[in-house]
């Protein structure tokens, strides 16, 4: 049976463009500015002009940020219920204007109308409904938090309106105001949404939209009046933003590229897996960051699977995106079309192109490439088009190895009828989202985001809202603590004692062969400590990776060991208190007791920091699992030599991470005494590694190390900027103090905030039923 055309009418969208004379200014402070310095936005399917859009300048960015800044205090003072009413109004208006928004989205982006109408727009409304609920509940459920201020949202062209909703809804719900920069290719639905926000009565300045190109986005990111940046786009730009914002104190979430594996086991429902794959890679023409673009098929069914897949490819319909019978629409722009073409033409392998008519214009045919190696460019690099690459595997272990053989970690798909196999594989995949026997499942209640070079942070759910909040109250500036200088005549008592580094469960001499003396305030030589260097960091990271089986131990076992560490420290409490007093001149008993109590706290949390089953609209479950980050490096506080070290180490290992700790620089001997406790507490070798040395010297090799997954800094040395800048190398997570002090004895120096930093939320979608 052949399909006839079923075109969607676009008269209303054309009328809307005509009413605006096909020329648009920016939306600032609740009104549109006069159009100025225009560029064209085109229909990618036809190449015809849709409208002319204003090119944002530094002045327009200034105006938008100033408007947002003026509006923010009043918006934040509204009750949660008042903000919820506005978000509810936006959700209802999106539904009322859904067909117009969908048609305009398809005209501007080139995606099939079925996708914009049936997938994008319902999700947009869902996000505003869901966040209306979060706005209502947050004041009670998240006490002690406050909005960040002015949020800059920079969004891509593949899901223009949906990405707007993902960023605007949580920002407004939390009490922030927003300046949004839509993609250069697809600004129209954002401008229509600005009109809708006016209909909803949203106060002027709460939402501002500045259109433009990459320079406009860069000006917004760099603006000193912005407190938070939420960016979705390429990994290259994400790295540039991480470097540009280093040391500024701006909050940052990045949702970047992906090369997502689509794993098919030999017991899978092959026909369903083929159909799911069509959605995974040819949805939105493959222009999806989480597209299932790497097919991994078990050898026994590979030939049959590929044959069925090619037959399905040949049946795909390509053409006018406004035709409701079309499966694959246009590529967003000739520039993107050229990029796809060049990547495929330069690739080796066997290429199969769908045997289906290809219209003239900005279209690319669905393509399958086999015969590549794991290191081939197209197996590693994001194509962002309707191109699928495929390899085979023999065993589940090999499937996991191939799936994780990428610098990305956004999403993954697993197809098997064996639920035991599915739930065994899902936690082993380095991805923020795993779909079991399905693909491209999204919902506002379920956090979405990646690991590795796919970025950090989550969008959706409570975890997404927390990215737009910070602890309420103000902190003081941290006061650097100098190392006690050598006296003219040192008091030397007893035999020489040199504390070594602690790497892989063993005491180790520093690679450089240097050490430094540690004096008491009264001039007594207390001992020497090694001066660690880059090679010592390398050795410590290798030891931490060798101990990553710690993350697979039970939470109960981790809790027992933390209790045991506390028990052994308690037995030596007087000794630790005396050491603290010798280094600082202050009575150390309170700090020792606080450190023991903190070990108990994280022993208690080890098996109680629960995940969640999210209420998503499917017959199935979306499991939000708290997983360890991996290897965490931490520059420990100077002012609390023992308590600060415990407060950083304990949450990290309680959640299953391994760590590399750089202890207090002026008072390091408490840490070197502490590893003697670790030696006798059944902690596996390499779970905790301690490298003494100067924070300013060790911050760069830690932050730049490609095998470290997160870096924390509570140092009194000014190292926050260098950590954030160097972390861009592999987009590791950072948590730094920006020179602000923390009271390590206070209740907010333990608990959920630390546990959230020690974990990644992985969302595993498991539909069920026939």
**Catalytic residue set:** 255, 289
* Nearest of 409, 442, 401, 430 to residue 765 by alpha carbon: 442
CA 748 – CA 743 distance, rounded (Å): 8
SS3 at position 479? coil
501-503 vs 506-508, strand pairing mode: antiparallel
Edge-first strand listing for the sheet containing 455-456: 31-32, 27-28, 207-209, 177-181, 150-154, 228-232, 251-255, 455-456
CA 20 – CA 41 distance, rounded (Å): 14
CA 190 – CA 196 distance, rounded (Å): 10
Residue carrying structure tokens 């600032």: 28
Return contacts of 133-137, CB within 8 angstroms, 24+ apart: 133/84, 134/170, 134/173, 134/462, 134/465, 135/80, 135/81, 135/83, 135/84, 135/87, 135/172, 135/173, 135/174, 136/80, 136/81, 136/84, 137/80
491-492 vs 524-530, strand pairing mode: parallel
Both tokens assigned to 435: 């779909």
* Nearest of 414, 125, 438 to residue 275 by alpha carbon: 438
Q: Are 612 and 624 in contact (CB under 8 A)?
A: yes
Burial 476-485, CB ≥16 within 10 A → b, else e: eebeebebbe
* Bridge partners for 351 per DSSP: 369
Residue ranges of E strands in 156-248:
177-181, 207-209, 228-232
Enclosing H/E stretch for 485: none
CA 181 – CA 209 distance, rounded (Å): 6
């Amino acid at each position: 049976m052949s399909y006839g055309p079923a075109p969607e009418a676009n008269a209303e969208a054309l009328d809307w463009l005509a009413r605006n004379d096909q020329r648009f200014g920016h939306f600032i402070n609740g009104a549109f500015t006069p159009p100025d310095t225009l560029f064209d936005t085109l229909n990618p399917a036809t190449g015809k002009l849709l409208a002319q859009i204003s090119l944002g300048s530094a002045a327009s960015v200034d105006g938008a940020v100033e408007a947002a800044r003026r509006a923010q205090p009043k918006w934040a003072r509204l009750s949660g219920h008042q903000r919820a009413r506005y978000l509810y109004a936006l959700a209802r208006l999106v539904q009322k204007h859904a067909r117009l928004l969908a048609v305009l989205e398809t005209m501007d982006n080139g995606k099939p109308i079925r996708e914009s109408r049936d997938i994008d727009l319902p999700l947009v409304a869902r996000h505003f409904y869901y966040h209306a609920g979060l706005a209502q509940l947050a004041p009670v459920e998240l006490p002690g938090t406050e909005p960040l201020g002015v949020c800059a949202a920079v969004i891509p062209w593949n899901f223009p309106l949906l990405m707007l909703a993902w960023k605007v809804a949580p920002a407004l719900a939390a009490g922030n105001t927003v300046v949004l920069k839509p993609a250069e290719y697809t600004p129209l639905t954002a401008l229509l949404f600005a009109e809708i926000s006016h209909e909803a009565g949203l106060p002027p300045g709460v939402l501002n939209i500045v259109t433009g190109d990459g320079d406009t986005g860069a000006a917004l990111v760099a603006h000193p009046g912005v407190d938070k940046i939420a960016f979705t786009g390429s990994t290259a730009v994400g790295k540039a933003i991480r470097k540009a914002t280093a040391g500024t104190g701006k909050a940052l979430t990045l949702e970047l590229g992906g090369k997502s594996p689509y794993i098919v086991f030999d017991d899978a429902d092959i026909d369903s897996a083929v159909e799911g794959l069509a959605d995974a890679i040819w949805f939105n023409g493959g222009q999806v960051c989480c597209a299932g673009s790497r097919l991994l098929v078990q050898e026994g069914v590979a030939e049959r699977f590929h044959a069925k897949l090619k037959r399905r490819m040949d049946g795909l319909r390509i053409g006018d995106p406004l035709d409701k019978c079309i499966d694959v629409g246009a590529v967003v722009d000739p520039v993107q079309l050229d990029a796809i073409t060049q990547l495929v033409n330069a690739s080796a392998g066997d290429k199969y192109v769908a045997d289906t008519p290809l219209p003239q214009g900005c279209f690319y045919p669905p393509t399958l490439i086999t015969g590549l190696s794991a290191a081939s460019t197209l197996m590693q690099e994001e194509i962002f088009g309707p191109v699928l690459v495929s390899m085979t595997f023999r065993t589940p272990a090999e499937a996991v190895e191939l799936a994780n053989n990428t610098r990305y970690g956004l999403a993954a798909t697993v197809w098997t009828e064996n639920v035991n196999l599915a739930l065994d594989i899902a936690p082993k995949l380095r991805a923020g989202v795993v779909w079991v026997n399905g693909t491209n499942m999204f919902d506002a209640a379920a956090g979405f985001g990646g690991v590795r070079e796919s970025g950090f942070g989550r969008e959706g759910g409570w975890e997404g809202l927390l990215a737009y909040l910070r602890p309420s109250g103000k902190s003081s500036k941290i006061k650097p603590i100098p190392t006690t200088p050598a006296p003219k005549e040192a008091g030397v008592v007893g035999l020489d004692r040199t504390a070594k580094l602690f790497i892989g469960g063993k005491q180790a001499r520093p690679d450089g062969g240097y050490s430094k003396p540690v004096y008491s305030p009264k001039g007594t030589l207390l001992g020497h400590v090694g001066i660690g260097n880059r090679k010592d960091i390398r050795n410590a990271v290798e030891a931490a990776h060798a101990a990553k089986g710690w993350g697979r131990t039970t939470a109960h076992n981790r809790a027992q060991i933390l209790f045991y560490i506390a028990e052994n420290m308690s037995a030596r409490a007087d000794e630790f208190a005396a050491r603290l007093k010798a280094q600082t001149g202050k009575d150390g008993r309170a700090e020792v007791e606080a450190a023991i109590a903190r070990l108990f706290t994280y022993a208690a949390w080890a098996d109680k920091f629960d995940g969640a089953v999210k209420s998503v609209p499917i017959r199935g479950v979306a499991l939000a699992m708290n997983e360890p980050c991996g290897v965490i490096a931490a520059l420990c506080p100077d002012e609390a030599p023992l308590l600060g070290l415990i407060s950083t180490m304990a949450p990290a290992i309680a959640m299953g991470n391994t760590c590399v700790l750089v202890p207090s620089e002026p008072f390091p001997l408490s840490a070197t005494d502490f590893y003697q406790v670790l030696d006798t507490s059944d902690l596996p070798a390499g779970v905790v590694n301690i490298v003494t040395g100067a924070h300013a010297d060790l911050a760069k090799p830690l932050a730049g190390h490609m095998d470290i997954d997160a870096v924390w800094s509570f140092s009194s040395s000014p190292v926050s900027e260098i950590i954030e800048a160097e972390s861009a190398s592999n987009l590791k997570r950072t948590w730094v103090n920006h020179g602000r002090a923390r009271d390590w004895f206070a209740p907010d120096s333990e608990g959920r905030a630390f546990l959230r930093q020690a974990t990644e939320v992985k969302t595993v979608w498991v539909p069920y039923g026939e």
